[in-house]
Structure 1
């Protein structure tokens, strides 16, 4: 029997998310976009050697911050056209194809692997679960008949096929507008589509309630870690006063080997502390002349990359800047928005505030400023 060694995954994420107000596949789910979680699942399937994501150029730029080895295709006017675009982008050597909805972030990689193996062996297979509710067939607002529940299954994704069978079905029936999934096209070829049992956790994010349920499922497999960060810099004339990536007009600025952004430095140390990865002085030593004057946003990008590499997901920041001058409160919105961009978070998950030092000590005399930061990170449970 031929062995499956080169499978491809086509992840369809071209929807506009009209019910959710924005593309549902890019909504944050426990610190990461829904689509990112869907891609991560297929990275864990050993036979999948190519992942094609069918999505907009805007979403593509977000994915590039998380992945470096994806193939991309543009969405079509319908789901089937999007699938066709994705299949066309696959390597010709692909033996089997898994087609998956980008709005299903919690698919079990083991179930996806089983479905691919079964689809390759039988020609076609789909993940599905038995229907739990009694299903009524309705016409004109009245029940026409009650369907036999024991024979009903709810189809999920991925839906998996031998590559040549899927290509043949798309070539012959891809123009049909009434097909809601590609397995219907394969059925029209006369190929028997096998059912591979899945679980109810593999839900599709369609409504706000779905997102709440997905968060609950996901939280069961994560633990929360908290890190604390602190930084202090002297203030000198002729330097820029930069906090959280925002330059605030002032007669003095922060003295330091970098741009002296105490807010970003404290936030980065909080992230590293939550992950037990040291502090920024180890990553960016002040003795290194190559980084003199470095923009602290670059430091933050490196720290965020490191946190993600170790399986961490930043979900909340709470930052307090302590300075006698200048007055910071008028700049709260700009700094919060900047921090959200830098750390790729929803602004509602970023807290930024400031306190004076009541004219006490160096800070009270306007000679220095300091910052405290707390970061909350989610990481996977230890095996």
Structure 2
């Protein structure tokens, strides 16, 4: 998999807020005890694929590295990071950030820190779209009628079914984005987002569904979005999950979607992902909603060989509808064969991505039972999971 870095733009002056008497640039407004841009940094750093992050700060910000070092001392990012200064235009700031990305980087996410409500799932969709495109951008349908205005008069009404309101982050093949910025400098292009560079190069730009909650803080009235509503403190809850699969002719051996070559096959109705099944049970335990068999019975043809990630998505949707926030997951895989340790890092990253969680909040361990029981006799495996969540008061 190509390496992935992100460029986080935090170099704007916030002129609209300044006109309203707010001197602090929006990206440095305090949000939950840290500058606003730090929330985007935390979400990006939690992506399993991300190896590093470049902060693009205003030229007059002072020692930006000291600021990032202080913030990271309180909440480590867990990825490499660098700091650079922005330019006069947005594209100049992106170019400055891109110059700090390692030359061998394969993919780059570019994000405006004024959109602090990005989600891991949106980032994952963008990176997945790069499998078949040079760039990927999130777009929302345009609901208002749009007019082309010339000299104060309506000149044209575009077909809004062909229009999309574009957000960030935007994802790019790094070589294409570099070539776009090099051409822009050579030919004096002026663009409003990096996807325009790819379009002018003749490259392909995929559009994935945007997120209505991924709102940009632009005007003074937008600041209310940063105010947490006063509500009763949520209640911490714990759920326990347990699942077993026996070895035999059936499904490939997978854990959190990671296929382990040379391992025994497992007998299962769905795809046989024992680890994800245990996680599902743990989450259902937090919700007080029974177990996996009640929601996805193995007697139903509907769930025959269905990816466990699909089942997990449905359970996560239950948690969202319930207002429950999953804050930590501790998992253990128990088997005599295959050896899990060589794959544990990848399994953990994959599971964190499935959950849309920071990898530091997902733990994975593996053990054997020293030849005892059915796992010790190499007749199967079992997985356990403990989920900690915050659930709203009834």
Q: TM-score, normalised by structure 1?
A: 0.54
1:130 and 2:144 are equivalent in the alignment:
no
* 1:35 paired residue among 30, 34, 37: 37
1:8 and 2:5 are equivalent in the alignment:
yes
Conservation of the 8 A alpha-carbon contact between 1:115 and 1:160: yes
1:153 and 2:164 are equivalent in the alignment:
yes
Moved over 4 A (4+): 222-225, 380-383
Deviation at 1:199, TM superposition (A): 1.1
Conservation of the 8 A alpha-carbon contact between 2:126 and 2:208: yes
Aligned residue number for residue 18 of structure 1: 15
* 1:110 paired residue among 108, 121, 124: 121
1:101 and 2:93 are equivalent in the alignment:
no
Stretch of structure 1 that moved more, 176-185 or 187-196? 176-185
Q: Deviations over 1:30-62 (max 9, x none)?
A: 443210111111012111110101003435443
Aligned residue number for residue 55 of structure 1: 57
Conservation of the 8 A alpha-carbon contact between 2:115 and 2:214: yes
- Partner Cα distance (1:132, 1:72) in 2: 38
List runs of 5+ in structure 2 lacking aligned partners.
19-23, 235-359, 362-388
Conservation of the 8 A alpha-carbon contact between 1:201 and 1:214: no
Conservation of the 8 A alpha-carbon contact between 1:223 and 1:381: no
Conservation of the 8 A alpha-carbon contact between 2:5 and 2:52: yes
Aligned counterparts, 1:1-383, within 5 A = 3-4=1-2, 6-21=3-18, 22-56=24-58, 57-58=61-62, 59-67=64-72, 69-174=80-185, 176=188, 178-215=190-227, 224=233, 381=390
Deviation at 1:116, TM superposition (A): 1.9
- Partner Cα distance (1:123, 1:12) in 2: 21
SS in 2 for 1:71: strand
Conservation of the 8 A alpha-carbon contact between 1:174 and 1:185: no
Deviation at 1:214, TM superposition (A): 4.7
Alpha-carbon distance change, 200 to 106 in structure 1, aligned in 2, over 3 angstroms: same
- Partner Cα distance (2:149, 2:88) in 1: 30
Alpha-carbon distance change, 130 to 187 in structure 1, aligned in 2, over 3 angstroms: same
Alpha-carbon distance change, 209 to 101 in structure 1, aligned in 2, over 3 angstroms: same
- Partner Cα distance (1:133, 1:61) in 2: 44
Deviation at 1:153, TM superposition (A): 0.4
Deviation at 1:20, TM superposition (A): 1.1
Deviation at 1:128, TM superposition (A): 1.5
List runs of 5+ in structure 1 lacking aligned partners.
226-309, 312-379
Q: TM-score, normalised by structure 2?
A: 0.53
Count of residue correspondences: 226
Stretch of structure 1 that moved more, 26-35 or 88-97? 26-35
